[in-house]
Copies of this chain bind each other. A is one copy, B any other.
């Protein structure tokens, strides 16, 4: 079985954007009472949006189930206020629930959180509960920079974030660290901000001892761990020189990297440097790098090919493709078992 741990609903029907446009228009002249409102999308529209895209690629590439979350760039926690973020987040998560209800064999849900710059993440707990209890979601995306490129929140090791971690631990679900679109013009969102955030989060974890406080918390760092595996010697050296505990004992116990690295040398480095127990298969589809590689004869984000070609034992490859994900996402494992898979 092949579990893709990182897919986004980037092909959502236009009714979602229509809601968002109306929501942002209303912000300019807000009514006394702001309500969640409604998103007008039919089940057929959802089917159409997926059949020619994510489902087609699942079939073509031979992955079995995708851990599916709202479009990351659209989270845009920096736009509007906490009410804006909450209503938008609820709709985005509602829509993921409709997807996983229509295609329970193909998708399992991960939620975005109603984060807002400067507002305690404690206000995300209710939506996290709703998504886990009512929708059966198995994880969440946690944005370390809800400011959208201005980086004003405390580091992830700060107690600021503990209300979310407490709930994640209670439910035994992981967080994927994932920023959103970027309003700071220096950072291209998928080319710089995403990768920088992954690198930044990992270094923050080195600097603290978050997993002493939360021994069962699990963090997924996407996009192959940002720059980290490429600079593994740098991180090991900095940890030694600055007298942080060894990375393997203080960080990598609770952290996994995904395989969203879109060329063979990158996947070879990732699988050569990081223990295969801590790598999760993923493609980000449909993500930043969809589309054919004109030189390669196949799509950049067809990451299964790279993982198949990497020097891994069959056992290690099974860990990367399936078994690690079952361990990191216990609620996914339970779901699959209930389906006889």
**Which residues in A have some Cβ–Cβ distance to B below 8 Å?**
144-145, 149-151, 153-155, 184-188, 190-192, 195-196, 199-200, 203-204, 206-207, 223-224, 226-227, 229-238, 240-241, 261-263, 265-266, 268-269, 272-273, 288-291, 293-294, 300-301
Contact = CB atoms under 8 A, between A and B. Distances in A.
A293 B234 CA distance: 10
B233 A263 contact: yes
Contact of A186 (B155, B262, B268, B301): B155
Given A262-B234, A263-B232, A195 B227 contact: yes
A206 to B, nearest CB: 7
Contacts of A154: 185-186
B151 A231 contact: no
Given A186-B153, A196-B199, A203-B191, A231 B237 contact: no
B233 A261 contact: yes
B199 A234 contact: no
A204 B196 CA distance: 14
A259 to B, nearest CB: 12
Nearest to A195: B227
A224 B269 CA distance: 14
